[in-house]
Every structure is written in C-alpha cells, then in structure tokens.
C-alpha cells in the first residue's frame, strides 16, 4: 500500500538523514557561516545533542551521528510497519 502518508514519512526521514549527513560534512569542512549552514545546524543539532547526552565522544571521534542515523532508520521502520 503506497499512501501519501507513508510517502511523506519516508521522505521526511530520508531528508532528515541527509541533513544529518550534511551536518557531519560541515563539521569537517567548516564552511563560512550562512543561512543554509545555520538552517542545517538549527534542525539537526537538537537531535544530535540529545544523542550525545547518552553517547559521548570517544577521544576525537563522535559516534552520535552514526547512532542518530541508525535510530532514525529504526524509528522509520517501526512507524511504517505500524501504519501498514
């Protein structure tokens, strides 16, 4: 069953995953601040900071984006299976 609600949920989770990925890239590249970088940070940082409360960085490596992406995938799977 391919309803608009299921499509919306899939697109939302995919878009949020891409934003987290771009946030990770921005942390490596350090682009000049602009409205796009602020937007991505404002959207993703609350979620990533929540994950960091439970999984702190190990040395110089921050595993919170990996865990955040895995949790997003699990949440999407659970939500879609409940709705189907």
Give the whole-angstrom CA distance, residue 6 versus residue 81: 10
pTM here is: 0.86
Q: Is the pLDDT of residue 30 over 90?
A: no
pLDDT at 60: 87
Contact 16, 75 (CB under 8 A): no
In total, the chain counts a number of residues equal to: 84
Q: Residue 41: name the closest of 27, 23, 56 by CA.
A: 23
The tally of domains found in the chain comes to 1
Residue-range definition of the domain harbouring residue 57: 4-83
Q: Is the pLDDT of residue 1 over 80?
A: no
Lowest-pLDDT choice from 31-35, 49-53, 75-79: 31-35
More confident residue, 2 or 50: 50
Q: Residue 20: name the closest of 53, 4, 42, 1 by CA.
A: 42
DSSP annotation of 62? -
pLDDT at 2: 75
């Amino acid at each position: 069953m391919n309803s608009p609600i299921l499509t919306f949920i899939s697109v939302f989770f995919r878009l949020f995953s891409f934003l987290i990925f771009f946030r990770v890239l921005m942390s490596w590249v350090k682009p000049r601040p602009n409205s796009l970088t602020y937007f991505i940070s404002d959207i993703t940082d609350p979620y990533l900071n929540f994950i960091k409360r439970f999984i702190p960085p190990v040395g110089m490596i921050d595993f919170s984006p990996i865990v955040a992406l895995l949790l997003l995938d699990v949440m999407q799977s659970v939500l879609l299976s409940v709705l189907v």
